[in-house]
């Protein structure tokens, strides 16, 4: 059962795109199992940037098949744009890309309401990417969603779109927005459905067949554990399960099929949007990490909030994901600092906490340990043993505090800027 799950161990943007891209040559099938076009994976291939929101980054490897599974929510326009972008770079997706007929469709009203609500919340905004992901999941759970398969059935689509728009009508009235007409949505989405049709199928059975053939399957998560709907900093979370367990429901496989979970973590921490972030640095150190790490969202361009590594959050991530190992990214960003701080526990009302509490995360005081930094350039290191001594000590300390070993270490954005890359299966 060679299925491997790669998940974000922090607040997303951990560099999952690069790691999945590195592991893909070892995989037969790459499956995106949750989230929507709010996730942006930036890949650097031969010095050129490619940003993918929906299609697994594995698509860049000819010979690898890619699935966008039913746990995701899809904006057909974004998906079709990615397909065109890839063809323009000479990457053909024909016969290699499979899109679930069960995945839910992001409709114009979802994007509109996302923007209207965030505007209304003002300072309390969740900081969504306004791509309609939350409202689409809302409709999915409310059993009034439209699925990709419906786009291929115009009469059924019209019925569903009509009911869906009726359900949103009072909300739009209250928020002062204008709903699109049934006719315009149906006409647009029937057209999009026609263009998507060659890729649409029951992807769970493709994954199943792959498991039966003992092929290697890479299950790619979106966002991060601290943004998971059940385990994250609710309500400042995404609308789906970003944890490894989400791979089962989202891809349509049983837990027994998963043999390994790799959690991706930066060597420091970042967060986009609102919500508690105990180790946030609001001083020059925060600016320094932001600039050195290029911490600006790949989907929205928003500056990311930056801070020291948060071990209590990582500990929880290790537990709820059943993490087998950590892939540590962006170690190079810390180069040049005299010393590094790591939050090893929180203090809340005089109590020491080793993991995030039910509430009060916004009031916890990080308890820091200070470690010496390093000045040597690490971007050329291809083995952990080649890293400066203090960088090695930093990694060892993380392993000790989190209780999970660090496998791979990423020392730069490019594919080859990686230490200790081995076959993950
Ligand atoms: P993802 O959504 O988890 O894939 O993360 P993003 O793609 O949004 O952000 C990760 C960013 O960091 C991208 O711009 C990557 O090219 C870059 N990146 C990944 N690994 C490293 C690394 O080890 N060092 C540096 N400097 N950049 C990295």
Which H or E element spans position 371? strand 365-372
Closest CA to 223 of 275, 151, 157: 275
For 85, list phi and psi in degrees, rounded to 5: -60, -45
Q: What distance in angstroms lies between residue 13's CA and the mean position of ligand 1's atoms?
A: 7
Collect all residues with Cβ–Cβ distance below 8 Å to 320 and sequence separation of at least 6. Answer: 225, 228, 231, 243, 245
> Of 3.30.1050.10, 3.40.50.300, 3.40.50.2020, 3.40.440.10, which CATH number belongs to 3-101+199-262?
3.40.440.10
Q: State the pTM of this model.
A: 0.93
Domain topology for 104-196: Adenylosuccinate Synthetase, subunit A; domain 2 (1.10.300)
Question: Comparing 3-101+199-262 with 104-196, is the CATH topology the same?
Answer: no
Output the six-digit token pair for 359. Answer: 């509430």
Residues 104, 150: contact at Cβ < 8 Å? Answer: no
User: Residue 412 CA: which ligand 1 atom is closest?
Assistant: 24
**Domain spans of the chain, in order of start:** 3-101+199-262, 104-196, 265-419
Set 13, 114, 139, 228: catalytic member:
13
Give the residue whose CA is nearest to atom 12 of ligand 1. Answer: 15
What mean pLDDT comes out for the span 28-56?
A: 80
Residue 396 pLDDT:
98
Q: What distance in angstroms lies between residue 14's CA and the mean position of ligand 1's atoms?
A: 6
Task: Report residue 256 CA to chain centroid gap.
Answer: 23
> So what CATH class is 265-419?
alpha beta
Residue 281 pLDDT:
97
Does residue 14's CB lie within 6 angstroms of at least one atom of ligand 1? yes
The pLDDT > 90 percentage for the chain reads 82
In this predicted model, what pLDDT tens digit does every residue of 245-273 receive, in sequence order?
999 999 999 999 999 999 999 999 999 98
Q: How far is CA 22 from CA 53, 90, 251, 411, in A?
A: 18, 20, 21, 13
Does residue 129's CB lie within 6 angstroms of at least one atom of ligand 1? no
Position 43 confidence tier, pLDDT thresholds 50, 70, 90: low
Set 21, 41, 53, 139: catalytic member:
41
Residue 39 pLDDT:
67
């Amino acid at each position: 059962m060679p299925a491997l799950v790669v998940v974000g161990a922090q607040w997303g943007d951990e560099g999952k795109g690069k790691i999945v891209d590195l592991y893909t040559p070892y995989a037969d099938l790459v499956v995106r199992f949750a989230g929507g076009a709010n996730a942006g994976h930036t890949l650097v291939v031969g010095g050129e940037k490619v940003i993918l929101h929906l299609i697994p980054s594995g698509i860049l490897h000819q010979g690898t098949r890619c699935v966008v599974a039913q746990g995701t929510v899809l904006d057909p326009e974004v998906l079709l744009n990615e397909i065109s972008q890839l063809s323009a770079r000479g990457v053909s997706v024909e016969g290699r890309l499979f899109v679930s007929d069960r995945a839910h469709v992001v409709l114009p009203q979802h994007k509109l309401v996302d923007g209207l609500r965030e505007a209304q919340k003002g300072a309390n905004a969740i900081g969504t990417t306004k791509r309609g992901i939350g409202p689409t999941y809302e409709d999915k759970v409310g059993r009034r969603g439209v699925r990709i398969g419906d786009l291929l059935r115009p009469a059924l689509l019209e019925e569903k779109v009509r009911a869906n728009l009726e359900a949103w009508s009072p909300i739009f009235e209250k928020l002062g927005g204008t709903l699109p007409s049934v006719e315009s949505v149906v006409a647009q989405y029937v057209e999009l459905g026609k263009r998507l049709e060659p890729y649409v199928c029951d992807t769970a059975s493709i994954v199943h067949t792959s498991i039966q053939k003992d092929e290697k399957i890479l299950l790619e998560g979106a966002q991060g554990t601290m943004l998971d709907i059940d385990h994250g900093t609710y309500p400042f979370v995404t609308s789906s399960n970003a944890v490894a367990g989400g791979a089962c429901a989202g891809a349509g496989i049983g837990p027994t099929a998963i043999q390994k979970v790799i959690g991706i973590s930066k060597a420091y921490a970042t967060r986009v949007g609102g919500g508690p972030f105990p180790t946030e640095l609001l001083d020059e150190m925060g600016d320094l990490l932001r600039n050195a790490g290029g911490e600006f969202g790949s989907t929205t361009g928003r500056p990311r909030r930056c801070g020291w590594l948060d071990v209590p959050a990582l500990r929880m991530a290790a537990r709820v994901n059943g993490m087998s190992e950590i892939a540590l990214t962006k170690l190079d960003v810390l180069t040049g600092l005299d010393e590094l701080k790591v939050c090893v526990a929180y203090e809340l009302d005089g109590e020491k906490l080793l993991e995030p509490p039910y509430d009060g995360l916004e009031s916890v005081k990080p308890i820091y340990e200070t470690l010496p930094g390093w000045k040597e350039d690490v971007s050329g290191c291809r083995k952990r043993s080649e890293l400066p001594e203090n960088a090695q000590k930093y990694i060892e300390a993380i392993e000790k505090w989190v209780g999970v070993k660090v496998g791979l270490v990423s020392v730069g954005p490019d594919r080859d800027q990686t230490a200790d890359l081995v076959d993950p299966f």
